[in-house]
Structure formats: structure tokens, C-alpha cells
Amino acid sequence: IETIVQADAEQASRTVAQLIADQIGRKGDSVLGLATGGTPVQAYRQLIEMNRRGEVDFSAVTSFNLDEYIGLDGAHPQSFRAFMNEHLFDHVNIDRARTFVPDGCADDVAAHCAKYESMIDAAGGIDLQLLGLGHNGHIAFNEPGSPRDSRTRQVDLTPQTIQQNARFFDSIDEVPCHAITMGIATILAARRIVMLATGKGKAEAVARMLQGPIGEDHPASLLRRHDHVTVVLDNAAAGALH
Ligand code: F6R
């Protein structure tokens, strides 16, 4: 694992935006795996500015998001589809028909998950997967205990994750308890993985990911089994490393 530590979240986000832009520069029709949450917002803002300046061209890019809440359709303001439209897709020259987010309202969730996997395959696999890090070590919505051979599927969110995500909703009762998520094996199949983690609150999870035992009880630690992972941190998130 390559680790890059920047002074603050702004610098770390710039680094991540540049890694994504470089990927698209090398291969215009790259397949990106994208994340939601608070962490990537600044990196997406950087990419929007780079796109405006003509420094990155999304016109041939395909994207697959990591996850979506069960029960929220794409029009729901707290859905991850709406998040992606608001924070990236509405502001860059990406072809909306080539942006994929799991459908939280699919009638047959298992069939939808299998189809999502086959669509990733049909697109040629993910070239660069962007990840955030959960306080409990989750990646996407693969909570502790998720099998390393897991694929896209329906999962239950832990009470801790529901509480963390309540900040995006009017009340905690509105946070869905279930989600569709790419699995650990889906994520590890990406050719390159870039993780962004910022802030003191992530320091313990970062230290366990990079220096603790490798195992399913800390899903992010399984990234150490992949040979092309770049972890981009700010000083605060790197604070518990020894
Ligand atoms: C988002 C996702 C989650 C987040 C993680 C960190 O698509 O899959 O795993 O990356 O919960 O969230 P933030 O960035 O809000 O701290």
C-alpha cells in the first residue's frame, strides 16, 4: 500500500482529484468506481473545476457507485444517486447513461445485484475505485464480518453506521437500515484502489487498516491483499500511525 499524507483535507482531496484525472488522461474511457459520503465531496469539487478548465474530460468515462440505500429511489434527496448528481454528475461532461448506481428500489434485489456485477464485467472491470473509510473499518457498506469473497448484495447497516449517516437526514428514523453494496471481492477486483480518509475521527480506523491484523473484522485491512492501493490521508487521519 502506498500512503500519501497531506497537510489538510483540501490538499488530500486535490491529490485524489489529480489521481483520478491522471487515470482519465491515460485512458479516456476509464471505468471509475465512485463513493459517496462526506469525504469525497472536496475531491469531486476539484474535479468539477478541472473539468471546467479543460484539464479532465469525462465524456467517455463510465462510473459505478459502491452502494445505495434500500428503499430510496434516485429522486430521493438522500439517495446516493441524488448525491452523485448534485456533487459531480450535474457539473461535468459525463454521459449520464454511463453512470450507474445500484437501484435501491429494485423489485428483485438479488437479481439486480447479479446484474450490477455483470454490468461491471461487461464494461471491462473497474480501472480505479475510490473509497472512503468507515469509523468501524467498513468499506462501501461492507461492515465488520463481511466475507472477503462477498459480491454485490443486500446488507444490514450497523447501528453505528446508521447513527453516523443520520447527519444527512432530518432524523435518525429516516435512515434506511439496509443497503445494496458492492462486496469486498468486487472492490478488490478493481485494477487500482484509491482511498481518501481525512480528519481525526478516522485516525484509529486508518491505523488498524494499515498496521493492525488483516481480517474480516476490519474490512479495510483486506485492502493490504491488493497490490495497487493508494491511501491518501491528511495529517489528522494519519495521527494514530506509529
Ligand atoms: C459511501 C460508502 C461509505 C463511506 C464511509 C465514510 O459510498 O461506501 O463506506 O465511504 O462510510 O463516510 P464519510 O466519508 O461520510 O466519513
* Closest atom of ligand 1 to CA, residue 138: 9
Q: For a substitution probing ligand 1, which of 42, 138, 160 has the most ligand atoms within 8 Å of its CB?
A: 138
Average pLDDT over residues 132-142: 97
67 a catalytic residue:
yes
The Cα–Cα gap between 146 and 83 comes to 25
Which tens digits make up the pLDDT trace of 160-203?
Answer: 999 999 999 999 999 999 999 999 999 999 999 999 999 999 99
Q: What is the pTM of this model?
A: 0.98
Residue with cell 444517486: 81
Distance in angstroms (rounded) separating the CA atoms of residues 225 and 229: 9
Residue 116: helix, strand or coil by DSSP?
Answer: helix
Mean pLDDT, the chain, integer: 98
pLDDT reported for residue 62: 99
All domains in the chain, ordered by first residue = 2-184+196-234 (3.40.50.1360)
pLDDT at 45: 98
Ligand 1: atom nearest CA of 165 is 15
Catalytic residue among 87, 112, 127, 136: 136
Q: Is the ipTM of this complex over 0.95?
A: yes
Please compute the mean of the pLDDT values over residues 151-156 and round it to a whole number.
Answer: 98
CA 96 from chain centre, in angstroms, equals 18
**pLDDT tens digits along 51-72:** 999 999 999 999 999 999 999 9
Helix (DSSP H) and strand (DSSP E) numbers for the chain: 7, 10
pLDDT of residue 235: 98
Show the 3-state SS of 79-101. CHHHHHHHHCHHHCCCCHHHEEC
What's the pLDDT score for residue 194? 99
Pocket (CB within 6 angstroms of ligand 1): 35-39, 66-67, 132-134, 138-141
CB atoms within 10 A of CB 170: 9
User: What pLDDT, on the 0 to 100 scale, is given for residue 105?
Assistant: 97
